[in-house]
Homo-oligomer: A and B are copies of this chain.
Amino acid sequence: MDDSNAKLTPLSELGEFGLIEKLTGDIKSKNHSTLFGIGDDAAVIKPEKSMLTVVSKDLLLEGVHFDLMYTPLKHLGYKTAVVNFSDIAAMNGKPKQLLVGIGVGAKFSVEAIDEIYSGIKSACEIYGVDLIGGDTTSSSSGLVISATVIGEVKKADIVYRNGAKPNDLICVSGDLGGAYMGLLILEREKKAFQADPNIQPDLGQHDYILQRQLKPEARTTVVDILAKEKIIPTSMIDVSDGLASDVMHLCKSSKTGCVISEEKIPIDQTTYELAKEFNIVPTVAALNGGEDYELLFTVSQDDYEKVKDIPEITIIGYMTDASEGERLITSDENSIDLVAQGWDALKKKI
């Protein structure tokens, strides 16, 4: 990847401590609650009074969660941070601190790691998060990125997966299926390139869906909208595995069933057209694609008036009694069982 450039700095030149200093030396904490960041055995946080601390971690492995052949390192750093922030948004909270650990193989240069960090720092800047921990170690195999995010949420505002009741409205932010279509485009161009390296990748007109895959955003803005409208969802999750799998997580935790209306599922026009090109039913990309990082949540029927006109939010169904199962009303008005074929790294790859 970087072999063509003779000026790159080998990692051995800096060593572990030198590298950490180079990558994190310019970081300044901004949040009130961050007392001490990088540079000691542990980072120190002074939790805000009356706030709960929410914490989540993700492990991203080369060849499983990302393909360096088409993933720019800066985007990879950005996505690593953002998918963690999304977990905090899914609790109705705001991310405040991030810790990152990176394992890199011999082929990596200091400049390559710097690229990953620039993506991480850019995400932290945009979302108002402090990078308070970062260590880098060698990896004898692929690139490994591990991130932990810490966020906060008022005790009265926290939303779990398990609070939905029958008749609650099922809502989703933004649109779905785009990230999966982006992946299909990237995989197609990779295959074309492998078959004939002279073929230039055809990515031009697919900006939106490529961004959905390579540089997703966390819907912390939706958390703000809900707060402004004084709506506290009864349950919430972020769409990482696909709408079907994730709504079933809500049902399982809340001990409910659900009815999803296929024609209500929000799908962007570019996603729609590209799905047709790939001979995929667009809603299948939404139901099973995953990685959209939109917020999927339920609200009481009492909140219908508040929710119905928010442009960022679509009502796609309602919760039912658990005995009624998890159902999809198709566009031709059949009622079928919802089936989760979500992205399951273990079943697929092992």
Residues on A lying within 8 angstroms of B by beta carbon are 10-12, 14-17, 19, 35-36, 39-47, 49, 52-59, 61-65, 87-88, 90-91, 93, 97, 99, 101-106, 132-133, 135-142, 144, 146, 148-151, 155, 158, 160-162, 236-238, 253, 344-350
Does B140 contact A63, Cβ atoms closer than 8 Å? yes
Q: Collect the chain B residues with CB atoms within 8 Å of residue A58's CB.
A: 101, 135
Interface pair A43/B56, CB less than 8 Å apart: yes
Are B345 and A138 touching (Cβ within 8 A)?
A: yes
> Which of the residues B40, B41, B64, B158 comes within 8 Å of A44, measured between beta carbons?
B158
Q: Which of A14, A88, A139 has the largest count of B CB atoms less than 10 A from its CB?
A: A139
Task: Quickly give the copy total for this chain.
Answer: 2
CA separation between A97 and B148, bound complex, in Å?
Answer: 13
The smallest C-beta distance from A344 to any residue of chain B, in angstroms, reads: 5
Interface contact A346-B87, CB-CB below 8 Å: no
Q: CB < 8 Å: which of B39, B99, B139 contacts A64? A: B139
Rounded to whole angstroms, the CA-CA distance of A289 and B87 in the bound complex is 39
> Does the CB pair A41–B139 fall under 8 Å?
no
On whether A146 and B41 interact (CB within 8 A), knowing A12-B350, A346-B15, the answer reads no
Q: Is the CB–CB distance between B346 and A42 below 8 Å?
A: no
| Interface hub of A40, A62, A161 (most chain B Cβ within 10 A) | A40
How near does chain B come to A26, taking the closest CB pair, in angstroms?
18
On chain B, the residues within 8 Å of A146 by CB distance are 57, 59, 101, 144, 146
29 A-B pairs with CB atoms under 8 Å apart are A11-B350, A12-B350, A14-B346, A15-B347, A16-B344, A16-B347, A40-B253, A41-B56, A41-B90, A41-B238, A42-B55, A42-B87, A42-B88, A44-B53, A46-B52, A46-B53, A47-B52, A55-B55, A56-B99, A59-B103, A64-B137, A64-B138, A99-B148, A104-B350, A105-B350, A136-B346, A137-B345, A138-B349, A140-B349
Which residues of B sit under 8 angstroms from A15, Cβ to Cβ? Answer: 344, 346-347
CB distance A40 to B160 under 8 Å? Answer: yes
CA distance A192 to B242 in the complex (A): 51
